[in-house]
A = this chain, B = another copy of it.
Amino acid sequence: MSLRHAVLGLLAEFPGSGYDLMKVFDISLRNVWPASQSQVYSELNALAADGLIAVSATGPRGRKEYVITDDGTAELRRWLAETRPARNFHVEGLLRVHFLGQLPPDQAREYLTWLAEANIAERKKLRELEAEIAGDTRDLALYGRLALEYGLRNAAMTAEWAAWAAERIDDIESVRAGRADSGGRSDEK
Contact = CB atoms under 8 A, between A and B. Distances in A.
Interface of A: 2, 5-6, 9, 12-14, 28-29, 31-34, 73, 76-77, 80-81, 84-103, 107, 111, 114, 118, 122, 137-140, 142-144, 146-147, 149-150, 153-154, 157-158, 160-161, 164-165, 168, 172, 175-176, 179, 183-184, 187
Contacts of A144: 97-98
Given A99-B12, A183-B138, A32 B91 contact: yes
A59 B60 CA distance: 68
Contacts of A93: 85, 88
Given A89-B33, A90-B33, A172 B143 contact: yes
Contact of A2 (B13, B92, B160): B92
A76 B90 contact: no
Contact of A99 (B76, B114, B161): B76
Contacts of A142: 101, 172, 175-176
A20 to B, nearest CB: 15
A169 to B, nearest CB: 9
A93 B13 CA distance: 19
A107 to B, nearest CB: 6
A122 B85 CA distance: 14
A169 B99 CA distance: 42
